[in-house]
């Protein structure tokens, strides 16, 4: 499917995740990918890369991956090609990163949260309410401190190429509207059972709020919600929409509690097998496609929330006082994890955020 096709796309998440239906739906008026520029590289043999991603064909992650593939193919005269496997076809984020290490998969595009087992400093992105604006988050992702995190993968079997945007995580559930931490805890009726990624900081956030966090692979989530195994989950609006979670989730809350990046990755064995001119092209294409993904994710976010409301999800928008109540409630998470993640790192990122938001 070409990235130039924008009017209608297939939302395939439901077929893979258990809803049983593939629905054709309109997409927002997304920006076209930038023109492909740059000289063509020399002939250093042909390579076909297998790229596994977790999200659907309609997602910014998939569309930007197509752009990545187009850059490589165009500038290599067709010698570098990419086959994209969406919807967790090959495995979840953890499994696909392990496949990169063994060389059985060439590329993947996980969230930073499950990647903390490789680079512990990435857990800083899981701290709640660290990024008040998207602009601040992007500034951090393009900073020297972020590049140091990417470089820290060297020697792990994984080559980390570029950060892009998963987005602000929002809460959805099938039990009740959530306007306060007390609604999460449930008081007399018990805390919400919330699916989380396999990430200890996320577990700590929801435990602190009084929920019952349940780590689970993304590919299992739709069925788990449909069957009542969990009450809800937390993901960006675009993921909630493209995965058709509104079919099994009645309530949403715009918490913006965590901003999660993606990382485009390549197997080190694949990377090491490339000519240095091909390596430079892959790195450049990764950065260009990541910038495009952030742009698409931004355009998708508000539109996705409106689409969810039109499809019947009751969405609560928290005001400043309500957000402040959640921020206060999760302060113990900082007290617990700042020594583990690194107080100097947190302060360095907070300084970038403050400089960005004060401009």
Summarize pLDDT for 203-235 with one digit per residue, the tens: 999 999 999 999 998 889 999 999 999 999 999
Whether residue 96 is found in the same domain as residue 137: yes
Look at residue 162 in the predicted model and tell me its pLDDT.
98
Whether residue 210 is found in the same domain as residue 174: yes
Confidence of residue 248 (pLDDT cuts 50, 70, 90): very high
- Percent of the chain at pLDDT exceeding 90: 84
Strand runs (DSSP E) across 268-339, as ranges?
Answer: 314-317
Whether residue 268 is found in the same domain as residue 249: no
Look at residue 23 in the predicted model and tell me its pLDDT.
45
Q: Is the pLDDT of residue 1 over 70?
A: no
User: In this predicted model, what pLDDT tens digit does every residue of 304-340 receive, in sequence order?
Assistant: 999 999 999 999 999 999 999 999 999 999 999 999 9
Q: Please give the residue range of the domain that contains residue 180.
A: 170-257+311-358
Look at residue 4 in the predicted model and tell me its pLDDT.
29
What's the rounded mean pLDDT across residues 286-302?
95
Confidence of residue 14 (pLDDT cuts 50, 70, 90): very low
User: In this predicted model, what pLDDT tens digit does every residue of 91-133 receive, in sequence order?
Assistant: 999 999 999 999 999 999 999 988 999 999 999 999 999 999 9
CA 304 to chain centre: 15
Whether residue 226 is found in the same domain as residue 322: yes
Confidence of residue 26 (pLDDT cuts 50, 70, 90): low
Whether residue 182 is found in the same domain as residue 161: no
Give 320: exposed, middle or buried? Use CB within 10 Å, 0-12, 13-18, 19+: exposed
Q: Is the pLDDT of residue 56 over 90?
A: no
Whether residue 245 is found in the same domain as residue 327: yes
| The model's pTM | 0.84
Pick the more confident residue, 106 or 14. Answer: 106
Look at residue 2 in the predicted model and tell me its pLDDT.
36
Whether residue 140 is found in the same domain as residue 284: yes
Whether residue 292 is found in the same domain as residue 218: no
Q: How far apart, in Å, do the first and last CA atoms of the chain sit?
A: 41
Whether residue 77 is found in the same domain as residue 185: no
Whether residue 143 is found in the same domain as residue 240: no
Distance between CA 234 and CA 231 in Å, rounded?
A: 11
- Percent of the chain at pLDDT exceeding 70: 92
Look at residue 9 in the predicted model and tell me its pLDDT.
34
User: In this predicted model, what pLDDT tens digit does every residue of 76-86 receive, in sequence order?
Assistant: 999 999 999 99
Look at residue 157 in the predicted model and tell me its pLDDT.
98
Rounded to the nearest 5 degrees, what angle is found at the Cα of 52, between the Cα atoms of 135 and 30? 45
Q: Is the pLDDT of residue 168 over 80?
A: yes
Number of helical H runs and strand E runs in the chain: 14, 11
- Residue 92 falls inside a structural domain: yes
| Number of structural domains in the chain | 2
Q: Is the pLDDT of residue 13 over 90?
A: no
Confidence of residue 359 (pLDDT cuts 50, 70, 90): low
Read off the CATH number of the domain in which 233 is found: 3.40.190.170
Look at residue 17 in the predicted model and tell me its pLDDT.
37
- Are the C-beta atoms of 63 and 3 separated by less than 8 Å? yes
Whether residue 158 is found in the same domain as residue 273: yes
- Are the C-beta atoms of 114 and 198 separated by less than 8 Å? yes
Pick the more confident residue, 67 or 217. Answer: 67
> What mean pLDDT is reported for the chain?
91
């Amino acid at each position: 499917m070409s990235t130039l096709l924008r009017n209608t796309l297939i939302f395939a998440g439901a077929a893979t995740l258990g809803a049983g239906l593939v629905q054709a739906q309109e997409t927002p008026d997304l920006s076209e990918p930038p023109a492909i520029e740059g000289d063509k590289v020399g002939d250093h043999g042909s390579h076909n890369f297998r790229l596994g991603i977790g999200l659907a064909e309609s997602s910014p992650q998939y569309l930007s991956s197509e752009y990545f593939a187009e850059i490589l193919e165009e500038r290599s005269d067709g010698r570098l090609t990419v086959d994209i496997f969406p919807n967790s076809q090959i495995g979840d984020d953890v499994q696909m990163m392990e496949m990169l290490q063994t060389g059985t998969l060439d590329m993947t595009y996980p969230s930073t949260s499950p990647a903390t087992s490789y680079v512990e400093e990435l857990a800083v992105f899981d701290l709640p309410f660290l990024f008040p604006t998207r602009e601040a988050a992007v500034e951090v992702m393009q900073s020297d401190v972020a590049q140091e995190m990417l470089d820290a993968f060297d020697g792990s079997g994984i080559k980390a190429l570029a950060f892009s945007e998963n987005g602000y995580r929002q809460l959805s559930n099938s039990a009740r509207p959530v306007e306060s931490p007390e609604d999460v805890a449930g008081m007399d009726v018990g805390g919400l059972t919330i699916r989380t990624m396999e990430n200890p900081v996320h577990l700590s956030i929801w435990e602190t709020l009084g929920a019952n966090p349940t780590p689970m692979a993304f590919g299992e989530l739709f069925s788990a919600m449909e069957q009542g195994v969990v009450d809800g989950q937390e993901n960006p609006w675009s993921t909630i929409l493209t995965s058709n979670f509104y079919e099994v989730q009645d309530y949403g809350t715009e918490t913006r509690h965590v901003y999660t990046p993606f990382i485009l990755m390549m197997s080190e064995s694949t990377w090491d097998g490339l000519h240095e001119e091909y390596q430079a092209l892959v790195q450049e294409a990764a950065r260009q496609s990541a910038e495009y993904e952030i742009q698409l994710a931004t355009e998708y976010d508000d539109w996705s929330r409106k689409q969810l409301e039109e499809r019947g999800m009751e969405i609560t928008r928290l005001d400043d006082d309500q957000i402040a109540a959640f921020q206060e409630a999760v302060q113990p998470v900082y007290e617990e994890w700042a020594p583990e993640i690194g107080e100097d790192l947190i302060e360095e990122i907070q300084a970038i955020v403050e400089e960005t938001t004060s401009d």
